Amino acid sequence: MMLRERLTSRFLTSAPAVLARLIAVGALLLTPAAVGQSTALLDKLNEPWKRLSETSRSSTRLFSAYLDMTAPPAEVGPDFNHTTIYPGMENWDAVKSWAAENGNMGKTLIDVQACEVLGVHYGTDGVDPRFVERGLVALIAPNGDLTRTQFPYLKAIETISAYATAEMYRLCEEGKFDEAFKVGVANLRVLRQACDAQMYDEKFAAMTLLAEAMSVHRDVLYAYRLKLPLELVRGLSMKEYPFLKPRDDQRLKRIAMPEGDLWLATELLASVFDDGGQVDGEKFSKTFSEMQARSAPMTGFGAVKRWERVAGVHGSLEASTVKLNAIYDDWWRRWRMRGYDPLMSLPTELSVVNPVKYAGVVFSARDIEELFGLRRRLVAEFCGLVVGCGVTAYRAQYEDWPKAVKMAYTQFFPKRFDFDPYDREYGAMKYEYLGSRTRGIETATDRVEISECLLYARNGDNTFNDATQHLEAGQSGDFVLWPPIRAVLRGQGQ
């Protein structure tokens, strides 16, 4: 059970646990803790980008092209995004036309795909005024509010990825498969660049978009599997997909943990202590009660008084900073470990911190545990894409699916990508040749019948369950990666 869940349980069963409940709410709110207009902190956040040349950062060229894009036929969001676009969808003609009239974005994606990072500048100083006006910025403490950060540029990244999907399908429908995958792979590489952002919210959004975009590529491969040229598919599985970013491996170990949140949390804590390193009661209670009220308005009544009581027993700035650094040191160690290292089962530093004496620390620190699960899902999507593409290349060569996945090793995809991130022994995914037989699989929305072949990973329960139930990064069932369930449900490629 995570810290906020344990604290919530304590609140429900004992009166003294009210403060713990407030902390639980605060842990959900901070996204991440921000600093006013701290020039030093902005410089620290931007310092990695300053070490790179302008040509190594893609954001300026990408955002310039975005400014020239026409509006999509629907607002990008839950109902219209890169996972909902496909030929046959409602309003496909309008989506197809939108993709066709924005070819410059496709060219820009291809041009910037070799950049090292997206490199969006933190703050607005020195940023193109057009970018500021259109929200293509990363805002740290907007309007001097120490408890807020905003990353409105992520909307543009989501829109660009929706465009890339529409353009892939448009070109595939015209039989222009090479051009389609050039745009699609370039989009994956740009999303991979975005995964190296400094802040948790940016990184979580970018990793989610990349995982989804990889699933879209599986949809496209499946939909056109009988038409795609052998050399194109083999080139994708051997050269393009495995090397989205130089030096990445099948475990995507080079995606770094977000460090910026620690610097922001340090600044926030410092702002509520006096020059002697002791809690400034007024600032402390005002800051954290307002954060609590924004997160859960119904718990805000009397919050100032409660936070004033906490201020009276809170640890010093020095002790709080030690605790904060210990929490992030623990996250860093875990981030570098293998997913099922025995040490990963030990309680985290955040989970054992005193929730009253260090209430400000718990409110300021960012619980990144969910990011570990997202990285595991991303690895499954990544490896599933490479293997799915590899067996598709095998089929293009031999006009049948491999009887065993090892038959496609080396010639059609690198063996190391047959890797299951949900396996405690770090083994392979499961592949089954079905031929004319069918397998029924329950999904979140419907039951599907699968034939030809089947590739799936374990899920959160770490065991194979014969793929009778498909759940995307769930705690039960299996994670079916080929054929892509979404494409099968739509009837694509039939």
pLDDT at residue 301, rounded to an integer: 63
Shared domain for 208 and 302, answered yes or no, is: no
Q: Is 6 exposed, middle or buried (0-12, 13-18, 19+ CB in 10 A)?
A: middle
**Position 16 in a domain:** yes
Residue 12 pLDDT exceeds 70: no
Residue 17 pLDDT exceeds 60: no
Residue 11 pLDDT exceeds 50: no
Distance of alpha carbon 70 from alpha carbon 154, whole angstroms: 18
Shared domain for 78 and 212, answered yes or no, is: yes
pLDDT confidence band for 372 (50 / 70 / 90): very high
Q: Of 10-14, 187-191, 291-295, where does the model show the most confidence? A: 187-191
Tell me the per-residue pLDDT of 87-103, one tens digit each, with 9 for 90 and over. Answer: 999 999 999 999 999 99
Shared domain for 264 and 335, answered yes or no, is: yes
Shared domain for 48 and 186, answered yes or no, is: yes
Instruction: Tell if the pTM clears 0.85, that is, is over it.
Output: yes
Least confident of 14-23, 322-331, 440-449: 14-23
**Position 378 in a domain:** no
pLDDT confidence band for 297 (50 / 70 / 90): low
**Position 469 in a domain:** yes
Tell me the per-residue pLDDT of 168-223, one tens digit each, with 9 for 90 and over. Answer: 999 999 999 999 999 999 999 999 999 999 999 999 999 999 999 999 999 999 99
* 3-class SS string, the chain: CCHHHHHHHHHHHCHHHHHHHHHHHHHHHCCCCCCCCCHHHHHHHHHHHHCCCHHHECHHHHHHHHHCCCCCCCCCECCECCCCCCCCCCCHHHHHHHHHCCHHHHHHHHHHCCCCECCCCECCCCCCHHHHHCCCCEEECHHHCCCCEECCHHHHHHHHHHHHHHHHHHHHHCCCHHHHHHHHHHHHHHHHHHCCCCCHHHHHHHHHHHHHHHHHHHHHHHHCCCCCCHHHHHHHHHHHHHHCCCCCCCCCCCCCCCCHHHHHHHHHHHHCECCCCCECHHHHHHHHHHHHHHHCHHHCCCHHHHHHHHHCCCCCHHHHHHHHHHHHHHHHHHHHCCCCCHHHHCCCHHHHCCCCCCHHHHHHCCCCHHHHHHHHHHHHHHHHHHHHHHHHHHHHHHCCCCCCHHHHECCCECHHHCCCCCCCCCCCCEEEEEEEEEEEEECCCCEEEEEEEEEEECCCCCCCCCCCEECCCCCCCEEEEECCHHHHHHCCCC
pLDDT confidence band for 296 (50 / 70 / 90): low
Domain span at residue 470 reads 390-490
Tell me the per-residue pLDDT of 102-120, one tens digit each, with 9 for 90 and over. Answer: 999 999 999 999 999 999 9
Shared domain for 358 and 424, answered yes or no, is: no
pLDDT confidence band for 16 (50 / 70 / 90): very low
* Structural domain count, the chain: 3
Shared domain for 474 and 330, answered yes or no, is: no
pLDDT confidence band for 53 (50 / 70 / 90): very high
Shared domain for 214 and 323, answered yes or no, is: no
Over residues 372-396, the mean pLDDT reads 98
Residue 13 pLDDT exceeds 80: no
**Position 96 in a domain:** yes
Shared domain for 196 and 281, answered yes or no, is: no
Shared domain for 130 and 271, answered yes or no, is: no
Tell me the per-residue pLDDT of 218-254, one tens digit each, with 9 for 90 and over. Answer: 999 999 999 999 999 999 999 999 999 998 999 999 9
Shared domain for 290 and 424, answered yes or no, is: no
**Position 381 in a domain:** no
